[in-house]
Amino acid sequence: MDAIRIYGGKCLDGQTGIQGSKNASLPVLAATLLIKGTCEIENCPEISDVYHMLRLLESLGCRVMREGTLVRVNTEHLSEGDMPADSVGVMRSSIMLLGALLARVGSVDMDYPGGCVIGARPINLHLQSLRKMGVAIEEREGGFSARASRLKGAVHQLPLISVGVTENLILAAVLAEGTTVIEPAAREPEIQTLCEFLKQAGADIVGIGSDRLTIHGVDRLFPVHFRIPADRIVAGTYLTACMCAGGRIFLQDAPCHHMASVLSKAAEMGAELSCEPDGMLVMCRAKPAGCERLCTGCYPDFPTDLQSLFMVAMAVSGRAGQIEETVFENRFRIVPELVKMGADITVMGNRAYIGSTQRLQGAIVQAEELRGGAALTVAALAADGTSIVTNRHYIDRGYEDIVSDLRELGAEVELA
């Protein structure tokens, strides 16, 4: 069963917990390679991307033990190994193993990583930046080899802000000889989480949360117990579900302090929000008010991962508006599926123009990437009749159990 059946038109009413962050857990798991011994990672989400990352760690000689959301990684017998091509091929985040492995064992052979089809996301900036740190890289058909006796600190003036490049350079720099400067560094909460994990393990990092990171290399890091924070994108997904379907829900552990741009836009569109010490209360008494313009950007601007979900909210609002996508050039793949459901959306370049749709209709639609799949599920909650979202495996990359969570929130959904 690789599909979800949704019975639309029902207001939400309930409570669910927010899982650990996908985008924080993956770089933290990669960072365990830098630490000889056993690290314990708590609140690690049970999603397919984490499963693939753990497979990659095991292929490199790590001993991985999992008890629910607690993961123990022992790297005592780390080696180069042969990383499974199927795990590398489905997960773009596998590229962050490059910096960590070069720092720990000085040698990496890997295939080019894959992931969702939301844009080119080339790895040339990763390789170019690591070359500045003394890495010799030889590219080949379908992959590359990288070698370094010991990484050297360097000053990186990046041509653009990149979460992945920032993460890779942090992982490469913490054990490098000398000082590394990264500017402009990505400021996403997941970057901050990675830095906090490494600092707890003994790294010397200055400027956490800013666009300039200074990292003084140390000789050794030490095993730690660390808790992954809640996933702001999952919280944003269920917030949007309530905006589209209407109702009253409570999202336990929702990280409101990392969601300012999202909460601001949701409030602009009519959602009533209350951030509590243990989560967030969301009330939506009517359909979304719509908004004239939404533009994605690097944190703290509006996150591209929630763009397709807010597109759904704008589509059902009954008001015209436009979305400008500045991060990934192929993030509008959801549009033809929403049009099947009755949405009035036209794409021109990096802009989507949304007409004044009144109601969506249930349909059989196909997920083609992670967040778009979640957005189609949310659209189905707001639609009249029954919908089926196929290719559920894309959604499983980032959501532990979206069907169970939505049921707890009062939706009528099931596996199909």
Cα(35)–Cα(284) distance, integer angstroms:
47
Give residue-wise pLDDT tens across range 16-50: 999 999 999 999 999 999 999 999 999 999 999 99
Q: pTM here?
A: 0.95
Q: Among positive and negative, which fits the CA dihedral 28, 178, 36, 33?
A: positive
Q: What is the pLDDT of residues 184-195, one digit of tens each?
A: 999 999 999 999
Estimate the crossing angle of helix 370-382 against helix 307-315, to 10 degrees.
Answer: 20
pLDDT of 346-372, one tens digit each?
A: 999 999 999 987 799 999 999 999 999
| Residue 213 scores a pLDDT above 90 | yes
| Predicted pLDDT of residue 114 | 61
pLDDT digits (tens, 9 = 90+) for 79-136: 865 566 666 656 666 788 999 999 999 988 888 776 444 444 578 899 999 999 999 9
37 neighbors 245 (Cβ within 8 angstroms): no
* Dihedral pair phi/psi, residue 295, rounded to 5°: -130, 125
Order of all β-strands in the sheet with 12-17: 12-17, 247-252, 279-284, 272-276
Q: Which of 116, 244, 256, 284 is catalytic?
A: 116
pLDDT tens-digit map of 369-407: 999 999 999 999 999 999 999 999 999 999 999 999 999
Mark whether 116 is an active-site residue. yes
Structure tokens at 346: 């036209």
Using CA atoms, how far apart are residues 218 and 9, in angstroms rounded to an integer? 57
pLDDT tens-place string over residues 147-157: 998 999 999 99
- Half-sphere CA count of 378, side-chain side, radius 13 A: 31
